[in-house]
């Protein structure tokens, strides 16, 4: 059975076409292929089916802030393994791997910048970092972003994408729900507007705290938003879930988000809302 094997190793293909990696994009929704620049122009949504590709804080900051106006703060907050948590891997190792793979320090970044000329605080989560899970650092950075919005009277925008509270910090993660919600009560008392943007997916402890508490809740089309995950609910009820269950449009229908906004319209919508609230 050796007739199909190479007899020599290390044979190199002599001509390599110089195609930059990832120039063409295949839509995860409809499998259409289109050019990267076209994709970026459409805020990483599919020009054919409208599928919203998951993007991170880097892309959202670029999308929302006027050119070069965004400035990150509290980037010096780092996670620690207070519990000495070990499952199949130690938490410290998971953190290091996540940091190496994503180039991020944690699952949220906070920044101040201009949106159509008006200053705002934007906190944006990164799903790529341990499933966008909320541990102490996420809670603390969100809390400080809320504090800053309140102190400077700047509108607050939180872009959520998260599997929920982070297991590896156990009750410390859980308490971040209470911490951030308590901070939002203070923000509300100062009458500073808070716009919550819920993107795919937003579930668990993040939905059950700051993500649901916006003065205006905005969801991206098709985003999965809920408390319990679909698999758990399927187990509970013992049957298939209805089509569109827990999707952005379902939440709009049931009265838990104010609007479903296409990502290409997100900046304009937020700018308009800021103008209506503060103008």
Partner 1 sequence: MNYLDFERPIAELEEKIREMRLLAESTGSDLTAEIDRLERRVQELRERTYRNLTRWQRVQLARHPDRPYTLDYIHLMTTGFVELHGDRCFADDPAIVGGLAKFNGRTVLVVGHQKGRDVKSRQYRRFGMPNPEGYRKALRLMKLAAKFNKPIISFLDTPGAYPGLEAEERGQAEAIARNLLEMSRLPVPIVVCVIGEGGSGGALGIGVGDRILMQENAWYSVISPESCSAILWRSWDYKEQAAEALKLTAQDLFELGIVDRIVAEPLGGAHRNPQEAARLLAEAIEEALTELLPKDPETLIRERREKYSRMGAWIETYL
Site for partner 1 in 106-135 (CB under 8 A): 135
User: Which pairs from 13-19 meet CB under 8 Å and 24+ separation?
Assistant: none
76 is a contact residue toward partner 1 (CB under 8 A): yes
Work out how close the CB of 201 gets to partner 1 at its nearest, in angstroms, rounded to a whole number.
12
Q: Which two tokens stand for residue 136?
A: 């102490």
Nearer residue to partner 1 within complex by CB, 46 or 204? 204
Q: Which of 132, 106, 113 shows the shortest CA–CA distance to 71?
A: 113
d(CA 192, CA 266): 20
248 is a contact residue toward partner 1 (CB under 8 A): no
24 is a contact residue toward partner 1 (CB under 8 A): no
Report yes or no: 180 and 135 within 8 Å, Cβ to Cβ.
Answer: no
Nearer residue to partner 1 within complex by CB, 27 or 211? 211
96 is a contact residue toward partner 1 (CB under 8 A): no
* Half-sphere exposure at residue 54, Cβ-oriented, CA atoms within 13 angstroms: 18
> Among all chains, which residue has been given the structure tokens 């319209």?
265
Nearer residue to partner 1 within complex by CB, 31 or 83? 83
> Which of 87, 100, 243, 279 is close enough to bind partner 1 by CB under 8 A?
87
> Which of 43, 176, 193, 260 is close enough to bind partner 1 by CB under 8 A?
176
Site string for partner 1, 136-165 (x = CB under 8 A): xx-xx--x---------------------x
Nearer residue to partner 1 within complex by CB, 59 or 258? 258
- What are the phi and psi torsion angles at 200 (to 5°)? -75, 130
83 is a contact residue toward partner 1 (CB under 8 A): yes
* 3-class secondary-structure state, position 9: coil
d(CA 144, CA 8): 61
Work out how close the CB of 87 gets to partner 1 at its nearest, in angstroms, rounded to a whole number.
4
> Among all chains, which residue has been given the structure tokens 């966008």?
132
Cβ burial, residue 11 (10 Å; 0-12/13-18/19+): exposed
Residues at the interface with partner 1 (CB under 8 A): 76-80, 82-83, 85-88, 135-137, 139-140, 143, 165-167, 169-179, 181-186, 188-189, 204-205, 207-213, 225-228, 232-233, 235-237, 241-242, 245-246, 254-256
């Amino acid at each position: 059975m050796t007739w199909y094997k190479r007899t020599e190793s290390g044979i190199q293909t002599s001509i390599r076409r110089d195609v930059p990696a990832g120039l063409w994009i295949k839509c995860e929704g409809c499998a259409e292929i289109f050019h990267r620049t076209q994709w970026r122009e459409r805020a990483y949504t599919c020009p054919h089916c409208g599928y919203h590709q998951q993007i991170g804080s880097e892309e959202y900051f670029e999308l929302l802030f006027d050119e070069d106006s965004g400035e990150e703060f509290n980037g010096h907050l780092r996670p620690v393994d207070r519990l000495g948590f070990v499952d199949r891997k130690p938490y410290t190792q998971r953190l290091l791997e996540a940091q190496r793979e994503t180039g991020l320090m944690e699952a949220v970044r906070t920044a101040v910048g201009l949106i159509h000329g008006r200053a705002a605080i934007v906190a944006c989560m990164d799903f790529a970092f341990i499933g966008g899970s909320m541990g102490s650092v996420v809670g603390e950075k969100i809390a400080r972003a809320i504090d800053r919005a309140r102190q400077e009277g700047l509108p607050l925008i939180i872009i959520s994408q998260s599997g929920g509270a982070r297991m590896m910090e156990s009750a410390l993660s859980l308490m971040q729900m209470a911490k951030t919600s308590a901070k939002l009560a203070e923000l509300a008392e100062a009458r500073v507007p808070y716009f919550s943007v819920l993107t795919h997916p937003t579930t668990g402890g993040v939905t059950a705290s700051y993500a649901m508490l916006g003065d205006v809740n905005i969801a991206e089309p098709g985003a999965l938003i809920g408390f319990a995950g679909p698999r758990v609910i399927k187990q509970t009820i013992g049957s298939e879930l209805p089509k569109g269950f827990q999707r952005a449009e379902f939440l709009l229908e049931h009265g838990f988000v104010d609007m479903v906004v296409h990502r290409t319209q997100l900046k304009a919508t937020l700018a308009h809302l800021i103008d209506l609230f503060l103008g």
